[in-house]
Amino acid sequence: MSGSVWLPPGSRPDTLPGIPRQRTPSWARPDPVDELAARLEEFIAAAVHPDEIAALLESDGLSDDQIRERYGVKNSFALAETLYERVERRYPEPDGPAPDPWQTGLLGCLLRGVVFALPGLAYVLGAPLFTGPGDHGLPAGTVPLLAGALCGWTWNQGLAHRAYAWLGLGDRPAARRALLLGAPAGALLGSLVAVSFAGGAAPAVVAFAAGQSCYLAAATVLLVMGRERLLLLALAPMATGAVVSLADPLPETAGLALLLGSLAAVGVLGLREVAPALKGGQGWTAGLVALLPFGAFGTLPAHRRPAGPRLTGSLPYALFGLATGVLVLYAALGDVLAGESAGAVAAPAAVALTLSMGPAEWLLYRFRSGSLAGLRSSSTARDFRRTTVRTVVRCLAAYLAVLLALSLAASALWPHAPVPDGVRPAGLLLLGVVLWTGLLLQSFGAVTGATAVCCAAALVQTLLLVTRTGDPHVAGAVVYGTAAAVQAALVCHLLGRATAHR
C-alpha cells in the first residue's frame, strides 16, 4: 500500500495519464434567456411595455437570426415578451419631489376673487344716478344694467377663451390682436343692448350701463394678460370711495369723479396691453384675422390663411358665461322678478358667489394636483377612480364651506338683507355645486356637457319664473339640485378615467 505507483515503461514519474472529461449536458447549462434577463434586469423592471425591451435589443445589434440561434425564440419581439414576463415590475421613483405643474399660490387666486367683486362697489357710488320709476319691482335703471351685464359676460367669456387659445399656441401677439378688436366690439354691443332695454330710464342710467360695458371689456383684456394687480390698483380709488360712502355719503360730483377716474384708468391700462398689436400699421386688420377664423373677410387664399383656434370652439364658453350669469342673477333677484317681494334683493348671494370664485379657482388647481398624485400612486384603474372621487369630494366640500361662510358674512353685513332660512342657503350651495363642477368640467375641455346642463337649468328656471310656478326659491333649489346631480355624474364619469388627465 505504501509502495510507488507502477508506471509503464518510458513514462516519467511527474506525469499522469490524461483522464477524459465528461461534457456538461445541454439541460444543465444556464438558460441564456435568464442570463440576459439578469444582465438587463434594471431596464426590464422599469419597462412599461415589451416593445421598450425589443427596441433595446435591436439597438444592441441583435438580429432575428442571432436571437433564434442564441435564445431559441422567433424574433426580438418574442424575446422581449419573454424577458418582460420573467422580471417583476419595479418602477424607479424620481429623485427629489415629483414635479407638479399645478402648484399655485392661494394669494393670487384670492386676488382674482377680490378683483371680480370690487366693481360691485361702483353701484354704491352710482346710486344717485338711478332715479325714476322702478321696473318689475326692481330699483330704477336695474333692467338695462342687468341686460348689459349679461351681454358682457357672454361676449367676454367667449373672447377670453379665444385669446387664451392663442396664448396656449404660444402666439401672444395674436392674443393681443384678438383682444384689440374683440374688446371694443364687446363694449359697443353691451352698450347697444343696454340702450335697447332702457325704456324710460334716465340718460344717466344708460351712460352708467355703457361705462359698465366698457369696464367689462377693458377688465377682460387685463385679466387675460395676467394684469390683476394693475386692475386692482386702478379700482382702488373707486372702492375706497365707495366704502367711505357707506358710512358718510360723498357728494355726487365726488362719486362721479371716482367712477370716471377708475374707468379711465382701467381703459388706459387695457389699451396699453394691446398697444403692441397696433404697431406695423395693420393692427385692426390683423385683429380681425386673429378674432375670426378667416382672413380679411375671406379674401386670402385658403393656403395662406393663418392657422388658429376655431371660432366655434369659443361658442360653448360664451354660452356657459350666459347660462351661469342667468343662474346667478336668479339667485339674487329671483323672488323680485317673480313679483313676490317688492324691496328685498338677495345681493349677499351674488356677492358671496363672486368672492368665492377666487377660492374656487385655487381648489381647481388643488384637484389637478391631487389627480396627478393619484396617477402616480394608483396601480389599477379602480384605485385611481376611487382616489379621484375622494379628491373631488374634498375640494367641493371645501368650496361649499367657503361659500357658506361668505354668504353668512355678507348677509350679516348687508343692510336690510333677507334673513337666511333653510331654503336660501340650500339653493345657494346647490348653485355653488353647479358652478364649481361646471368650471371643473370646463378646465378639462368638457365644456359642451357643462354648457348644456347650465343652459337647460337657466331655461327651466326662466320658464318657472315667467309662469310663476311655485315658490321661486324652492323652484330654484330643485333646478340647481337637478343640474348639480347631472354635472356630478358627468364629473365622475369623465374624470374617473386616467386618459382624461393627460
CB atoms within 10 A of CB 56: 17
CA distance readout (Å), 20 to 17, 26, 125? 10, 19, 112
Residue 239: is its pLDDT beyond 70?
A: yes
CA distance 240 to 87: 69
CA distance 116 to 459: 25
- Higher-confidence residue of 210 and 124: namely 210
Reported confidence tier of residue 280, pLDDT bands at 50, 70, 90 = low
Reported confidence tier of residue 136, pLDDT bands at 50, 70, 90 = low
pLDDT, residue 296, reads 37
- The mean pLDDT value for 102-107 works out to 86
- The mean pLDDT value for 457-486 works out to 89
- Higher-confidence residue of 86 and 27: namely 86
Reported confidence tier of residue 108, pLDDT bands at 50, 70, 90 = confident
Reported confidence tier of residue 94, pLDDT bands at 50, 70, 90 = low
Cell numbers for 373: 398624485
- The mean pLDDT value for 405-423 works out to 77
CB atoms within 10 A of CB 462: 14
Question: Angle 136-355-406 (CA atoms, 0-180°, nearest 5)?
Answer: 90
Quote the pTM value.
0.77
Listed residue (406, 130, 109, 410) closest to 259, CA to CA? 130
- Phi-psi sector, 416: left (phi>0), alpha (psi -120 to 50), beta: left
Mean pLDDT of the chain: 83
DSSP 318-375: HHHHHHHHHHHHHHHHHHHHTTS-SS---HHHHHHHHHTHHHHHHHHHHHHHHHHHHH
Listed residue (453, 427, 425, 428) closest to 440, CA to CA? 453
Reported confidence tier of residue 259, pLDDT bands at 50, 70, 90 = very high
